[in-house]
């Protein structure tokens, strides 16, 4: 590929910012709890100042209703800031450690949590305000400097973030660099100390390869196919309401949204009927489907991807029970429930990340587990059940980043709960103390005791010493 003058100036620009942050890191590392809390509070003010602009930006980017932005993004972010402000002094305390064998090795020790250095935060487009900024909260708390690259698919949001951050921080401390694949590829060449990436497993592999070049540590917040397993004992009204409401939110473009449902055959018809009633009540109150209160699919490529998954499912035998309406001009897809979906259909192989919901049936819990295990470990797993034995069985026989029982995605918003996946759905955990630990180095400081019983053990000659040790080994 030909290198343009623009490319060269971009490379120079990011190198300059990176070098400045690397230098400034040594200063920021010395900041006290009070300094960091003050920064977080200042940032909180800026978030509040721009809350309406954030909602406007995301409406411009994919017609996200304001109410969803305030609830999913602004309010959640403020909660995370407040939680960190309230707990940071505790997290930053030196942790004294008792030696495991004081009679042999009688040192005193403590663990300090020091910043990792320069952090690169790469954000997604689907809940971009919160998901790009919550890692920044952890990064500030940890005492790092940060370069943020928001998603290019939400350009209004990305421009707003740049403005907000510039208003609150010097470039040497936190900065936003906008761009797409080319710019991110250049940025990934820089020797960051940590990369905090939120996005797809496919791009995460690119990120991890780049991180390997510099042995940078990574947090990868990814996605996957989250199952919802419904038991006969579940309250079906609440179950359907919560699953379908979750699926319609953000038009299903949420990393840990229910991807497919596993239900006993005997409950299938009732599930479909209740889903239909819920959607009619929620979206047809004024006659036609209320597209005003419903998000767009982010871009044409994703709209076409979802259409392909839908067409392929139908071509391989799926029945469209609810929805199935694709409005190409609006780039909107109504919440859609599919049954009789083949496990070989593309919709059961790829993460859906949209408002399509396959309903699969199972006859025994073992069969449900078998289906779940055929798919990569998910970010979320949901059990709808009032039978604790069944719930425990499902939890014990599966794995996922997190699990909510009798609701969806509840484990994904509280700063006290670790957020993250496992293998294909992610590496590392964020939020609250977990995010702080992710972006700090737990450094052990050991102070040797003045009196060490066996100080001279390793001083030759070794004659007779091996026997002493062997004697002690049991």
Give the residues lining the site for ligand NAD (CB under 6 A).
122-126, 131, 149, 151-152, 180-181, 184-185, 198-200, 203, 206, 221-223, 255, 351, 353, 379, 426
Q: How far is the CB of 68 from ligand NAD (least distance, A)?
A: 15
* Distance between CA atoms of residues 54 and 48, nearest Å: 10
The radius of gyration computed from the CA coordinates of the chain, to the nearest angstrom, equals 26
Q: Tell me whether residue 299 or residue 449 sits nearer to ligand NAD (CB atom).
A: 299
* Distance between CA atoms of residues 275 and 396, nearest Å: 29
Written as six digits, the tokens of 469 are: 């040790």
Whether residue 467 lies in the annotated active site: no
* Distance between CA atoms of residues 44 and 38, nearest Å: 10
- Angle at which helices 76-92 and 33-49 cross, to 10°: 180
* Distance between CA atoms of residues 307 and 333, nearest Å: 9
Distance of CA 84 to the CA centre of its chain: 18
Q: Tell me whether residue 126 or residue 334 sits nearer to ligand NAD (CB atom).
A: 126
Is residue 188 helix, strand or coil?
coil
Q: Tell me whether residue 122 or residue 439 sits nearer to ligand NAD (CB atom).
A: 122
Pick from 309, 359, 354, 303: nearest CA to 329: 303
Q: Tell me whether residue 351 or residue 438 sits nearer to ligand NAD (CB atom).
A: 351
Q: How far is the CB of 91 from ligand NAD (least distance, A)?
A: 21
Pick from 296, 292, 289, 279: nearest CA to 244: 279
Whether residue 255 lies in the annotated active site: yes
* Distance between CA atoms of residues 458 and 371, nearest Å: 57
Bridge-based pairing of strands 426-427 and 217-221 is antiparallel
Q: Tell me whether residue 391 or residue 400 sits nearer to ligand NAD (CB atom).
A: 400
Q: How far is the CB of 123 from ligand NAD (least distance, A)?
A: 6
Q: Tell me whether residue 122 or residue 313 sits nearer to ligand NAD (CB atom).
A: 122
* Distance between CA atoms of residues 333 and 327, nearest Å: 6
Q: How far is the CB of 92 from ligand NAD (least distance, A)?
A: 25
Q: How many helices (H) does the chain have, and how many strands (E)?
A: 16, 18
Written as six digits, the tokens of 97 are: 């450690």
* Distance between CA atoms of residues 380 and 327, nearest Å: 29
Which of 255, 321, 351, 438 is an active site residue? 255
* Distance between CA atoms of residues 56 and 69, nearest Å: 9
Q: Tell me whether residue 124 or residue 415 sits nearer to ligand NAD (CB atom).
A: 124
* Distance between CA atoms of residues 146 and 172, nearest Å: 8
Which of 73, 173, 221, 351 is an active site residue? 221
81 Cβ contact list (under 8 Å, min separation 6): 40, 41, 43, 44, 47, 137
Q: How far is the CB of 209 from ligand NAD (least distance, A)?
A: 10
Q: In Å, how far are 61, 62, 132 from 56, measured between CA atoms?
A: 9, 10, 17
Written as six digits, the tokens of 276 are: 């239909």
Q: Where are the beta strands (DSSP E) in 222-303?
A: 226-230, 258-264
Q: Tell me whether residue 185 or residue 448 sits nearer to ligand NAD (CB atom).
A: 185
Report the catalytic residues: 221, 255
């Amino acid at each position: 590929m030909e290198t343009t003058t623009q490319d060269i100036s971009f490379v120079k620009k990011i190198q300059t910012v990176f070098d400045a942050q690397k230098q400034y890191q040594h200063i920021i590392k010395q900041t006290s709890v009070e300094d960091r809390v003050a920064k977080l509070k200042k940032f909180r003010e800026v978030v509040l100042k721009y809350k309406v602009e954030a909602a406007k930006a995301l409406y411009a980017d994919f017609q996200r209703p304001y109410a969803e932005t305030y609830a999913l993004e602004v309010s959640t972010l403020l909660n995370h800031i407040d939680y960190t402000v309230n707990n940071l002094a505790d997290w930053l305390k030196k942790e004294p450690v008792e030696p495991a064998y004081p009679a042999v090795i009688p040192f005193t020790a403590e663990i300090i949590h020091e910043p990792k250095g320069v952090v690169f935060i790469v954000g997604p487009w689907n809940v971009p305000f919160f998901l790009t900024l919550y890692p920044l909260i952890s990064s500030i708390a940890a005492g790092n400097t940060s370069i943020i690259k928001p998603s290019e698919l939400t350009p209004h949001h990305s421009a707003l973030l740049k403005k907000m951050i510039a208003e609150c921080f010097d470039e040497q401390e936190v900065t936003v660099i906008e761009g797409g694949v080319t710019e991110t590829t250049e940025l990934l060449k820089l020797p960051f100390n940590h990369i905090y990436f939120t996005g797809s497993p496919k791009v995460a592999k690119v990120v991890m390869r780049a991180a390997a070049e510099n042995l940078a540590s990574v947090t990868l917040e990814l996605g996957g196919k989250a199952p919802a397993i419904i038991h006969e004992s579940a309250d079906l009204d609440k179950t359907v309401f919560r699953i379908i409401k979750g699926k319609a939110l953000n038009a299903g473009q949420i990393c840990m949204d229910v991807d497919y449902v596993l239900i006993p055959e005997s409950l299938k018809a009732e599930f479909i009927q209740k889903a239909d009633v819920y959607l009619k009540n929620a979206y047809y109150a004024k006659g036609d489907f209320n597209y005003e209160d419903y998000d767009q699919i982010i871009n044409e490529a994703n709209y076409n991807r979802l259409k392909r998954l839908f067409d392929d499912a139908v071509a391989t035998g799926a029945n469209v029970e609810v929805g199935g309406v694709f409005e190409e001009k609006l780039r909107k897809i109504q919440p859609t429930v599919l049954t009789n979906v083949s496990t070989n259909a593309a919709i059961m192989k790829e993460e859906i990340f949209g408002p399509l919901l396959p309903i699969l049936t199972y006859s025994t819990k073992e069969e449900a587990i078998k289906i779940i295990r055929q798919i990569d470990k998910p970010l979320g797993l949901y059990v709808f059940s009032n039978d604790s034995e069944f719930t425990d069985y499902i939890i014990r026989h599966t794995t996922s980043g997190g699990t909510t029982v009798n609701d969806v995605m509840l484990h994904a918003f509280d700063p006290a709960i670790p957020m993250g996946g496992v293998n294909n759905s992610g590496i590392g955990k964020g939020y609250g103390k977990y995010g702080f630990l992710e972006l700090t180095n737990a450094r052990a400081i050991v102070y040797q005791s003045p009196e060490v019983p066996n100080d001279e053990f390793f001083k030759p000659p070794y004659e007779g010493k091996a026997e002493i040790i062997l004697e002690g080994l049991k």
